[in-house]
Structure 1
Amino acid sequence: MWARHGFSGVLGELALALAGMLAAGASAAGAPAAGASAAGSPAFDARLSGYGYPFEVRHYGFRAQEQDLEMAYMDVQAPERNGHTVLLLHGKNFSGAYWGRTIEALTDAGYRVIAPDQIGFGKSNKPSGFQYSFHALASHTRRLLDHRDVEEVRVVGHSMGGMLAARFALMHPEVTERLTLVNPIGLEDWKAKGVPYTPVGERYRSELDKTPEGVKAYMRGSYFGGEWQPAYDPLVTIQSGWIRGPDWDRLAWVSALAYDMIFTQPVVHEFPRLDVPTQLIIGQRDRTALGTDKVADDLAAALGDYPALGRQAAERIPDARLVALEGVGHVPHFEAWDRFIESLTGFLEGAQ
């Protein structure tokens, strides 16, 4: 792709989805590879069997919550190593694959880079009977680092990955050298601001109703200010392919569980406890927020105010550095590459 390398509360709702999940259950281990829909667009199974990543994908097997799980990841070495490792954590609507250009730039700068697909995402397992929590995902990630003999990392998290990155740094400060949050969601506690809770079953039914066209329309409006360029197309490919694929019932359930995790497990209240050098890279046009369709217009308009949320986060995190990217939305590493990578590499190298 790039130049160099070419439950207690949900058990009742689970019953609502059981038939669809059982029908899709066999595909986790041996589902059909990516096919084509009637219109010729790609269709993917739960493990993205036919979807190519920018670098070699490895798999780490481990056991958690009485299940055998497999985490996909890329571990890319630098041609000339500087002795440091960067850990890249993806967002909810993405996978490790969208870090390809970032990985190439960082390895060119001397960093070893590890980019996992979290359990429930990308090419990793998608268990439907699983308690998704940021604590669990951070623990899995730490186990992966131990498996790869990595003792310290400079952590970068985008969107949902920003919430996970903050939780990882809080749980494992001894291995976290630096922390960069790129347009993280969760800079506000939506439920504390009055957004009502959406039951998992209701969220599942909403996920089932998604269409490839709707996914692109959402990203165009929410992430890129109504604009779209061909360079953004990879961001919709996986989600759209899953909707067309054989496992969407189960994937929609897993997505609903991930949404529940994000809404009910805020990390923002613990920002003052972060004890690592931290940088926030905030696209100022971003207005991403959960539940804006569930509240009155005045509250919806007040949610996701990233210019204000970024400033507030920088004030709450000890000695944090804020990089405000004007005219940029939710995905700076696609929309404003030069400014993003300059800010990231400068901070990783120690510039304050």
Structure 2
Amino acid sequence: MRTGTATIVAAGLMISVHLASAQEGVYGPRLEGFDYPYAIQTYSFTSQGAEHEMAYMDVAPKGTGNGRTVALLHGKNFCSATWEETISTLSDAGYRVIAPDQVGFCASTKPDGYQFSLAQLAANTKSLLDSLGIERVTLGGHSMGGMLAMRFAIQYPDSVEQLVLVNPIGLEDWQAEGVPYATIDGLYQAELTTNADSIKAYQQRFFYSGEWKEAYDRPVSMLAGLYAGPGGEKVAYIQAQTSEMLLGQPVLYEFPRISAPTLLLIGGLDRTALGANRSAPDVAARLGNYPVLARQAAERIPNATLVEFPDLGHSPQMEEPEKFHDALLKGIARLN
């Protein structure tokens, strides 16, 4: 329960955020000032001895629903809001859609001293779904969200009726391939230099093969605005924590444990690989080969279907929404 003091502090924060948001591209610690495409709700729960809130969108099917629910997990450089067109498409097709922001990201709480792990984030997501009375879902994940979705499917196999992976990271073990370890402190110092230009440069190089479209500007502004806002240092530290989490918690060795029918939707131009930018040239050159990695994953996941988009990159749902969503709807219909 919120106390009167907490409410006053929160009100003061909202005033300061409102003023900060008058500056273009500056958002509050929980993304205050950024417009989500659907109403945001919050789920309060206890984790690691503290109270937290997960922000999420719960979008009902349009017209007559089909009785099924899709949960969509965002990437590390994204938020649930970046699923906007996918949510609309699924809702139009009769699905209920749940799209959360993970603890530490976007509109959810930014905890101090939190021990981030894929297993913990999966447990948080399961707790949210339980609170909504959702027993089984089609679970979709993009980028980091794909790696998390795989961990969720391994951890809670009875809760996942289908798994959809959109250019998931974690199809290779970066450290085993030669990416040098980086401490959280070192990663944090690098994160402190992050701004809109550096985010765009990274994504343009690794996500989109040098190309850029206007559609990519909004997620860049969203992320850059968190760094530039009053919670920027905490955002940078959590980004460092979660980078270390991803580097040290591979899932690919457990692919045979994924029992849910799995749809891999892969943009073949993607070259995303954590730590490639600080690796030796020969190491960096062989990382992030998504056409090869996706085919290897499809062979190792017992009931997997691979759909490739050879001319698309890390975010096919943003690059070519119509092509992507056609493949998504057909794919999950076949898996049913």
TM-score normalised according to structure 1 size: 0.89
Are positions 1:222 and 2:202 aligned together? Answer: no
Return the offset for 1:41. Answer: 2.1
Return the offset for 1:293. Answer: 2.5
May I ask how many residue pairs the two structures share in their alignment?
326
Are positions 1:77 and 2:60 aligned together? Answer: yes
Return the offset for 1:227. Answer: 1.5
Tell me if the contact between 1:88 and 1:156 (Cα under 8 Å) persists in the aligned partners: yes
**Alignment-derived partner of residue 300 in structure 1:** 284
Distance in 2, matches of 1:230 and 1:28, equals 35
- Once the two structures are superposed, residues 140-178 of structure 1 have per-residue CA deviations (whole angstroms, 9 ceiling, x without a partner) of 111101111111100110000001000111111111000
Distance in 2, matches of 1:263 and 1:27, equals 35
Are positions 1:46 and 2:29 aligned together? Answer: yes
Return the offset for 1:51. Answer: 1.0
2:192 to 208, 227, 247: 208
**Alignment-derived partner of residue 50 in structure 2:** 67
Distance in 1, matches of 2:12 and 2:322, equals 40
Gaps of 5+ in 2: 1-8
Tell me if the contact between 2:258 and 2:301 (Cα under 8 Å) persists in the aligned partners: yes
How much is the aligned-residue C-alpha RMSD, in angstroms? 1.7
1:194 to 163, 174, 178: 178
Tell me if the contact between 2:162 and 2:335 (Cα under 8 Å) persists in the aligned partners: no
- Once the two structures are superposed, residues 93-112 of structure 1 have per-residue CA deviations (whole angstroms, 9 ceiling, x without a partner) of 11000011111100100000
SS in 1 for 2:175: coil
**Alignment-derived partner of residue 179 in structure 1:** 163
Distance in 1, matches of 2:19 and 2:24, equals 8
Distance in 1, matches of 2:182 and 2:11, equals 28
Relative to structure 1, the CA distance from residue 37 to residue 97 in structure 2 (aligned partners, 3 Å threshold; closer, same or farther) is closer
Distance in 2, matches of 1:311 and 1:35, equals 49
Return the offset for 1:29. Answer: 9.0
**Alignment-derived partner of residue 265 in structure 1:** 249
Return the offset for 1:200. Answer: 0.3
Tell me if the contact between 2:37 and 2:84 (Cα under 8 Å) persists in the aligned partners: yes
1:320 to 304, 315, 333: 304
TM-score normalised according to structure 2 size: 0.93
Tell me if the contact between 1:78 and 1:111 (Cα under 8 Å) persists in the aligned partners: yes
1:139 to 116, 119, 123: 123
Distance in 1, matches of 2:308 and 2:259, equals 22
Distance in 1, matches of 2:171 and 2:205, equals 20
Relative to structure 1, the CA distance from residue 95 to residue 30 in structure 2 (aligned partners, 3 Å threshold; closer, same or farther) is same
SS in 2 for 1:224: coil
**Bigger mean CA offset, 261-270 vs 222-231:** 222-231
Return the offset for 1:319. Answer: 2.3
- Once the two structures are superposed, residues 252-302 of structure 1 have per-residue CA deviations (whole angstroms, 9 ceiling, x without a partner) of 101100101111011111001111100111100000001112322111100
Return the offset for 1:315. Answer: 0.6
Return the offset for 1:28. Answer: 11
1:279 to 263, 267, 275: 263
SS in 1 for 2:66: coil
- Once the two structures are superposed, residues 69-128 of structure 1 have per-residue CA deviations (whole angstroms, 9 ceiling, x without a partner) of 000000011122100000000000110000111111001000000000000111000112
Distance in 1, matches of 2:198 and 2:282, equals 25
Distance in 1, matches of 2:21 and 2:261, equals 47
SS in 2 for 1:276: coil
Return the offset for 1:33. Answer: 2.1
For 1:114-153, list aligned pairs within 5 A.
114-153=98-137
Tell me if the contact between 1:89 and 1:161 (Cα under 8 Å) persists in the aligned partners: yes
What amino acid is the match of 1:58?
Q
Are positions 1:244 and 2:235 aligned together? Answer: no
Distance in 1, matches of 2:253 and 2:170, equals 10
Distance in 1, matches of 2:179 and 2:34, equals 36
Relative to structure 1, the CA distance from residue 163 to residue 113 in structure 2 (aligned partners, 3 Å threshold; closer, same or farther) is same
SS in 2 for 1:192: helix
Tell me if the contact between 1:36 and 1:42 (Cα under 8 Å) persists in the aligned partners: no
